[in-house]
Amino acid sequence: MTSVALTILGPLAAMVAILAIRYAAPALALLGVGAALIGAITTLVGVAGGARYAATLPGLPDLPLRLTATPLTAVLAAIVAVVSVFVILYAVGYMKEEGGKVRFFAQMSFFAAAMETLVLAGDWVLLLAAWEMIGLASYLLIGFWYEEDGIAEAATRAFLYTRTADLGLYLGIFILISQAGTSEIPRTLEVGGSAAFAASLLVLLAAAGKSAQTPLQGWLQAAMVGPTPVSALLHSATLVAAGAILLIRAFPLFPPGALLIMGALGGVTVVVTGLMAVANRDLKRLLAASTSSQYGFMLLALGAGSPVAALAHLTVHAAMKSALFLGSGVFQHARSSTEFSKLAGIGRERPLVFAGFAVAGLALAGVPPLAGFWSKDAVIAATYESPAAWLLFPLALVGTALTGIYVARTLRLLWKGEKQNEPVAGITWMGAGLSGLVALAVVLGFALEPLTRLVGGELPKDLLTVMLGAGVALGGLVLGWFVSVDSLLGPLRSSAEKGFRIGGGFEQFVARPALAVARATDTFDGGIHRGVLGVGRVGLGLARVSRLTDEKGIDGLIFALVRGTRSLGHRARRLQTGLVHKELLLAVTGGALILALLAIGTLAS
């Protein structure tokens, strides 16, 4: 249990320490995620040995918070920890010449801690809390350079999109808890019937929002304005992955109908965002679209009924996509841009980084024997074997081909062009992070077998699909390298580049109404404010009147009294000479008067 706690508390403590000390932030952040990695690996080893950890923490009444370490959560925690370590290692170099290190590394640590919490959460309440923390952390990090134009807007948009979808998660969780009477995840998943169907669709909505599935994919590309390590973490292990992780964990809930919807959604996303990636003119935006597409593959696998394949693809994709982002971050630093037109020829200039980038890209495309080959193969096989193969299998193949095309296109655009040698600061740290992830992208494929066995499933395999998948991937690569985008996509190109916006896109349907509602609320609020001010003004007037009566009336009376007393005192002063004998005489007279009064009183009575 200590190791589980360490996984969460390591980065959290790092965040606190960074904010408190405000010095040596990178080292502290590394230390934090290092502790998380050690905790996660220890947990994984323990879980592999058959141990199960569970802790119940005091939370809401009757809904205690739970942390659990099952094989699934332990594997996910390990993935998150590994990627966090490499990304923060890279970020040490990436942020070398940027300001705001304290803020950046504190937020990154917070991000990692929140994600570990989400992964290890054993009940919906804690999961929801972690889910929201991730949303907050991503908002802060995407808007890291908030001084620049449009960045705050992009962060707000990402936040709004994911928040809108989060409503689904809230409603779904409400349904589950009210049906099962407990917030424990495994027990709520046993709920069946129409409640399960409704809840699963709502959870799917939330996951689609976080994992940027069609039609909620728009925010992910806008979110590319954040620092590159943030993008890497966002896409591989945290924010976007949270959606897929949620679906993998909630998989037992899904009835067949919901599974079909999920698979179809994933398939559409694979194709649509794949096309967007092919058409894109910006490296990071291309990678963002590719992320949506790859998470679509995971939804495909889940829809085909194979969460193991989805988990395998999630694991491998975490390594590959973060490696790709880290490579693009080096290019971005070298040319101060991520547009392909400015990045031409960067591959020749930085052969080592380019080699790593290319290996990760080829792995993504599914070239044997790199990691992506195994997982994508498993996904394709799963769709082939599923009852809905008629729909899912072709979509998966098209997606594989599109992946090959955009990877090849990216590599071509980066390779062909003029060299310009410009030094990049912090390249050593960035190289370290990158090479670690590239190595993972190469070898992780061979670790999938034991990993899936640990989780308790088997990767679907089929010789036909292996041949077909590899063939399609290679075909896509060849197409992408030799054929230009315009001739490939034809009239689709311009709309794909714009992200297939229908009637103004999601912007029109969600963001505008939300802002309009906000504005109306603001006006309403202003009205209330004015009302309150009016009441205050009336009160002030009353106060003024009462002050007037006070000054003229009561005060006048009191002053008259004071004046009378003073003049009386003035007259009495003459009696007071200050001479002892005179005063003594007065005292004697007074005493005699008192005595006389007493005597008269006695005699009268």
Considering the complex, state which of residue 148 and residue 583 has its C-beta at the smaller distance from another protein. Answer: 583
Shortest Å, Cβ 591 to another protein: 10
Shortest Å, Cβ 567 to another protein: 14
186 burial level (CB within 10 Å; 0-12, 13-18, 19+): middle
Contacts of 543 (CB under 8 A, 6+ apart): none
Q: For residue 411, what are the CA distances in angstroms to 119, 176, 494, 572?
A: 34, 46, 21, 110
Pairing relationship of beta strands 53-60 and 63-69 according to DSSP bridges: antiparallel
Shortest Å, Cβ 568 to another protein: 13
User: Could you give the CA distance from residue 471 to residue 461 in angstroms, rounded to a whole number?
Assistant: 16
Read off the tokens for 153. Answer: 């807007």
Shortest Å, Cβ 580 to another protein: 4
Considering the complex, state which of residue 544 and residue 574 has its C-beta at the smaller distance from another protein. Answer: 574
Considering the complex, state which of residue 567 and residue 577 has its C-beta at the smaller distance from another protein. Answer: 577
Shortest Å, Cβ 579 to another protein: 6
CB 427 within 8 A of CB 503: no
The number of C-alpha atoms within 13 Å of 571 and in the hemisphere containing its C-beta is: 5
Task: Report helix, strand or coil for 599.
Answer: helix
Shortest Å, Cβ 598 to another protein: 12
Considering the complex, state which of residue 60 and residue 594 has its C-beta at the smaller distance from another protein. Answer: 594
Shortest Å, Cβ 597 to another protein: 14
Q: For residue 175, what are the CA distances in angstroms to 183, 184, 204?
A: 11, 13, 14
Shortest Å, Cβ 578 to another protein: 3
Contacts of 498 (CB under 8 A, 6+ apart): none
Q: Give me the residues paired with residue 66 across strands.
A: 56
Shortest Å, Cβ 582 to another protein: 8
Q: Is the peptide bond before 423 cis (omega within 30 degrees of 0)?
A: no
User: Could you give the CA distance from residue 349 to residue 173 in angstroms, rounded to a whole number?
Assistant: 52
Considering the complex, state which of residue 2 and residue 576 has its C-beta at the smaller distance from another protein. Answer: 576
Considering the complex, state which of residue 560 and residue 587 has its C-beta at the smaller distance from another protein. Answer: 587
Q: For residue 241, what are the CA distances in angstroms to 138, 219, 316?
A: 12, 15, 12
Considering the complex, state which of residue 463 and residue 580 has its C-beta at the smaller distance from another protein. Answer: 580
Shortest Å, Cβ 552 to another protein: 33
Considering the complex, state which of residue 61 and residue 578 has its C-beta at the smaller distance from another protein. Answer: 578
Shortest Å, Cβ 558 to another protein: 24
User: Could you give the CA distance from residue 548 to residue 333 in angstroms, rounded to a whole number?
Assistant: 72
User: Could you give the CA distance from residue 253 to residue 197 in angstroms, rounded to a whole number?
Assistant: 8
Read off the tokens for 437. Answer: 């992830």
Summarize as ranges the residues that interact with another protein (CB under 8 A): 572-573, 576-585, 588, 592
Considering the complex, state which of residue 336 and residue 605 has its C-beta at the smaller distance from another protein. Answer: 605
Q: Give me the residues paired with residue 121 across strands.
A: 67
Contacts of 344 (CB under 8 A, 6+ apart): 413, 414, 416, 417, 418
Shortest Å, Cβ 557 to another protein: 27
Considering the complex, state which of residue 544 and residue 581 has its C-beta at the smaller distance from another protein. Answer: 581
Shortest Å, Cβ 574 to another protein: 9
User: Could you give the CA distance from residue 80 to residue 72 in angstroms, rounded to a whole number?
Assistant: 12
Q: How many other C-beta atoms lie within 10 A of the C-beta of residue 390? A: 8
Contacts of 272 (CB under 8 A, 6+ apart): 214, 217, 500
CB 357 within 8 A of CB 430: no
Q: For residue 461, what are the CA distances in angstroms to 306, 308, 357, 367, 390?
A: 12, 12, 28, 16, 18
Considering the complex, state which of residue 544 and residue 571 has its C-beta at the smaller distance from another protein. Answer: 571
Shortest Å, Cβ 564 to another protein: 18
Q: How many other C-beta atoms lie within 10 A of the C-beta of residue 244? A: 28
